[in-house]
């Protein structure tokens, strides 16, 4: 599985994620949003606010999910979703070029512009 497919699965089938996986995603997005130096200092008011709202976590179980980096986490979680719920996941590909569309319901390819609304 490639990163694009993993992002597609996580983005469009987030209902198949566990609560821990959702927290790991939220934690990672918050790290990206905040300046990494602020997180290292751990005394910034922004970091405190993020922790109070549950956007950042110190839970070892959640942090362990991200130990190999976010890209590896995405690939691992997307593969787990396919393995456990493959029947619920629709990878919508363009009938002309075969590339993955932007959403599961798209009817026009963002790469070759082929339109299959009428097909």
Q: Is the pLDDT of residue 41 over 70?
A: no
Let me know: does 73 contact 65? Beta carbons within 8 Å: yes
What is the b/e burial string over 46-57, where b = at least 16 CB atoms within 10 angstroms of the residue's CB?
ebeebeeeebbb
What residue ranges do the domains of the chain occupy?
3-88, 89-119
* Sign, CA torsion 51/66/34/42: positive
Q: Is the pLDDT of residue 14 over 80?
A: yes
pLDDT at 50: 86
Q: What proportion of the chain, given as a percentage, has pLDDT over 90?
A: 79
Q: Is the pLDDT of residue 42 over 70?
A: no
């Amino acid at each position: 599985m490639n990163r694009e497919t993993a992002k597609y699965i996580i983005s469009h089938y987030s209902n198949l994620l566990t609560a821990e996986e959702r927290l790991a995603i939220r934690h990672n997005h918050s790290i990206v949003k905040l300046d990494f130096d602020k997180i290292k200092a751990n005394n910034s008011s922004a970091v405190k606010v993020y922790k109070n709202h549950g956007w950042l976590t110190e839970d070892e179980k959640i942090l362990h999910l991200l130990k190999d980096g976010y890209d590896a986490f995405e690939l691992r979680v997307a593969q787990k979703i396919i393995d456990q719920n493959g029947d619920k996941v629709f990878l919508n590909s363009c009938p002309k070029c075969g590339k993955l569309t932007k959403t599961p319901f798209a009817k026009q390819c963002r790469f070759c512009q082929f339109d299959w609304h009428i097909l």
